[in-house]
Amino acid sequence: MRIVVIGFQSAGLTAAATARLYNRDAEITVIERRSYATYHPCGLPFVIGGEVRELGDLVETAPRLHGVNVRLGVEAKAIDVGEKMVEVLDLKTNREERIPYDKLILATGSVALRPKISGIDLDNIFSLRTIEDGERILAALPGANKAVVVGAGPIGVETASALKERGLDVALVEMLPSILPGMLDPDMAEIVAERLVKSGVRVICSKAVKELRGEGKVSSVVLDGEEIPADLVIMAIGVKPEVELAVKAGLSLGPTKMIAVDDHLRTSNPDIYAIGDCAEARCLITGRPVRSQLATTAIRMGRVAGINAAGGDEIFDGVLNAVVTMAGGLEVASVGLTPTAAKEAGIETVSARVRCLSKPHYFAGAEPVTIRLVAERKEQRLLGGQFIGTGAAERANRLALAIRKGMTTKELSKVDYCYAPPVSDSIDPLVVAAEALLRRR
């Protein structure tokens, strides 16, 4: 069996490794246009902020997978679905080649969005997606004093904090009414915004960027009714899936404009799979197609597609989009549906928000923890949660398991937990939130 994987990031690497473990006899080829192997884009803001020593620390050496031919610096140009061939170009030698496959896995990923606005091509306007992006930003930092980050999703928030750590005057601009709009309700987002402001970041919401001004190099960002000086701009407005190869091959896209896949991650062509940032996922709660451009989703998809391409029968059941980020030293996480997302799916909800401490009040290091839980109103089936403060990621992970198991609010309120004053309070904040939600029926 010949398996070809296009793309060698989290999804592609996992697919190739899993296929090898499942089928020791398969001939596996990985095609990657980068000249280096897997890297960790989520670490880029932390290199800029100085928490990670250098960009090279984010790049993995090409893993030696027995029986897997990893070809770096080779770009897939087209897929001949009739002949089952991938047409590639060696970027070092300019040599063209056709690589046969029995099963093909597309892990082509995504690219940073760049808005079509006046001045977008001025110098010192960057995205933050690749190692090369990081190199350009680090090179520009010594000559920069004022920075504007456009887009207040997780990467934008982390980047704004990182630039502030570097000593720059930073403004964070979000066109929607609140920051982290996909993760948090506005009142929860306000807590995070206040933390950013306290750290010295100016937060501007409900304003879109109209124009970027400068002579050769950016000097200001124009918003509705305001012009902000800037000698460095980071565009963190999201990513778009790389689906051109799939579209040229005649594969179907879903309503999210990503490659449509079934529960085995097969595309509209049964011999081709799609995974990671280019592939559509399904919400585990609503069953609706969603974007889930997360490394964790890519890895889970890679395992499923790797097994299936190698002859197995594995199901990808869906996602809850568990996300965590850091904002001014504050841990922020979410999982599942917000009340707004649930309403859009036609689900009537009840929710509760609590604020408690991470440890007993008398113990040093006790910090505020804010939690919102969301449940279906009638049966009290858990739907989602938002977490701000110490242990946010851990509690989001626990709630993700509870949602997957179909737990109710009452069942969550009865879970066992551990207690010791140096570590946690006598009643876990997640249980406090569940008890509060029970009273909201």
The CATH number of whichever domain residue 388 belongs to comes to 3.30.390.30
Q: Assess whether pLDDT exceeds 80 at residue 64.
A: no
Element (H or E) spanning 437, and its range?
Answer: helix 429-438
- Shared domain for 294 and 354, answered yes or no, is no
What is the three-class DSSP state of 352?
strand
- Shared domain for 219 and 133, answered yes or no, is yes
Q: How far apart are alpha carbons 158 and 144 in whole angstroms? A: 18
Residues 264, 279 contacting (CB under 8 angstroms)? no
* Residue 323 in domain: no
Per-residue model confidence as pLDDT tens digits over 249-302 = 999 999 999 999 999 999 999 999 999 999 999 999 999 999 999 999 999 999
* Residue 191 in domain: yes
- Shared domain for 123 and 229, answered yes or no, is yes
* Residue 103 in domain: yes
Q: How far apart are alpha carbons 133 and 114 in whole angstroms? A: 13
* Residue 144 in domain: yes
User: Of 380, 405, 305, which Cα lies nearest the Cα of 4?
Assistant: 305
| Domain-terminating residue out of 278, 309, 340 | 309
- Shared domain for 248 and 223, answered yes or no, is no
* Residue 40 in domain: yes
pLDDT at 61: 76
* Residue 294 in domain: yes
- Shared domain for 69 and 218, answered yes or no, is no
Residues 341, 376 contacting (CB under 8 angstroms)? no
Residues 163, 46 contacting (CB under 8 angstroms)? no
Q: Assess whether pLDDT exceeds 70 at residue 212.
A: yes
- Shared domain for 256 and 348, answered yes or no, is no
Average pLDDT estimate for 201-215: 96
Q: What is the CATH number of the domain that holds 221?
A: 3.50.50.60
Q: Write out the DSSP string of 76-145.
A: EEEEETTTTEEEEEETTTTEEEEEE-SEEEE---EEE-----BTTTSBTEEE-SSHHHHHHHHHHGGG-S
- Shared domain for 220 and 276, answered yes or no, is no
- Shared domain for 205 and 246, answered yes or no, is no
pLDDT at 365: 86
For residue 197, the enclosing domain spans 114-235
- Shared domain for 292 and 357, answered yes or no, is no
Per-residue model confidence as pLDDT tens digits over 231-257 = 999 999 999 999 999 999 999 999 999
Per-residue model confidence as pLDDT tens digits over 343-369 = 999 999 999 999 999 999 999 889 999
- Shared domain for 162 and 102, answered yes or no, is no
Element (H or E) spanning 131, and its range?
Answer: helix 131-140
Q: Assess whether pLDDT exceeds 80 at residue 400.
A: yes
Average pLDDT, the chain: 95
Catalytic residues: 42
* Residue 420 in domain: yes
* Residue 297 in domain: yes
| Domain-terminating residue out of 187, 217, 235 | 235
| Domain-terminating residue out of 254, 275, 309 | 309
Query: Which DSSP symbol is given to 157?
Result: H
Element (H or E) spanning 300, and its range?
Answer: helix 295-309
Per-residue model confidence as pLDDT tens digits over 123-137 = 999 999 999 999 999
Q: Assess whether pLDDT exceeds 90 at residue 187.
A: yes
Q: Assess whether pLDDT exceeds 70 at residue 62.
A: no
Q: What percent of the chain has pLDDT over 70?
A: 99
What is the three-class DSSP state of 311?
coil
Average pLDDT estimate for 57-72: 83
User: Of 209, 211, 239, which Cα lies nearest the Cα of 113?
Assistant: 239
- Shared domain for 356 and 413, answered yes or no, is yes
Number of domains in the chain: 3
- Shared domain for 378 and 430, answered yes or no, is yes
pLDDT at 63: 64
User: Taking the complete model, does pTM exceed 0.85, yes or no?
Assistant: yes
